[in-house]
Amino acid sequence: MSIHSFIICVSRRYPINTKAKTGEKYHRILEAAAKIFAEKGFHQSTISQIAKKAGVADGTIYLYFKNKDDVLVQFFQYKTKQVFNGFREEVKKGDSAIEKLRNLIHRHLSEFQRDRDMAVVYQSFAYHKNDLVESNIREMSKMYLDIVSEIVEQGQQEGTIRKDLYVGLVKRFILGSVDSAINTWLRSTKGYDLKSMADPLIDLFTRGIGTSESPSE
């Protein structure tokens, strides 16, 4: 399923006014919801708290969303389109597979560092079963793994990534490592630069899955 078809599927399940989806107030509510969800946790959050953070009346929320569950689903839909379009754009800037992988990892860590609230919400739901967004998380992971698969297959054709490795194993190794770096950063009390982990991760990937022909930098 493509990102486009995924967004259509979610939209049909939780339809809202098309004009509202592009409005400034709609996006302000989503960003406010992310802050509240990240700070208090989804189950402890309320519509009133979201409305206050967004600077709108409680009733205004219901002009855009059915309920708190709908806010969460729409948040994932909105961020999926925004973040994954950015990933694709960054990958396209690279020529070789290693360049594309480097661009992807740098963009991934940069996006999550830039929007810590999104990172907290995404990571909290990614590792805890929740029927509401489980299919969303699964589809987001699939889209990311599809990007990595394309990069790995290109690298195998170029001879810069080992051909004796299963693509499925490699792409889960990459996603798992990046997720682990983000989770460690979120739990850390030292406040270090998440983006500084990008190059060490790339080095780990290229030395672990690359051939002797892989570039050192």
Which pLDDT score is estimated for 90? Answer: 94
Would 29 be classed as within a structural domain? Answer: yes
Would 57 be classed as within a structural domain? Answer: yes
Percentage of the chain beyond pLDDT 90 is 55
Would 214 be classed as within a structural domain? Answer: no
Q: What is the mean pLDDT of residues 169-176?
A: 90
pLDDT band at 97 (very low <50, low <70, confident <90, very high): very high
pLDDT at residue 58 greater than cutoff 60 = yes
The torsion of the CA quartet 169, 173, 174, 177, rounded to 10 degrees, works out to 170
Would 155 be classed as within a structural domain? Answer: yes
pLDDT at residue 81 greater than cutoff 80 = no
Q: Which domain holds residue 22?
A: 3-209
pLDDT band at 9 (very low <50, low <70, confident <90, very high): very low
Would 217 be classed as within a structural domain? Answer: no
Chain CA centroid to CA 134, Å: 14
Would 215 be classed as within a structural domain? Answer: no
- CA–CA separation, 39 and 173 (whole Å): 30
Predicted structure pTM score: 0.80
How many domains are contained in the chain?
1
Would 216 be classed as within a structural domain? Answer: no
Which CATH number is 183's domain given?
1.10.357.10
Q: What is the mean pLDDT of residues 98-113?
A: 95
pLDDT band at 38 (very low <50, low <70, confident <90, very high): very high
46 Cβ contact partners less than 8 Å away, ≥ 6 residues apart = 68
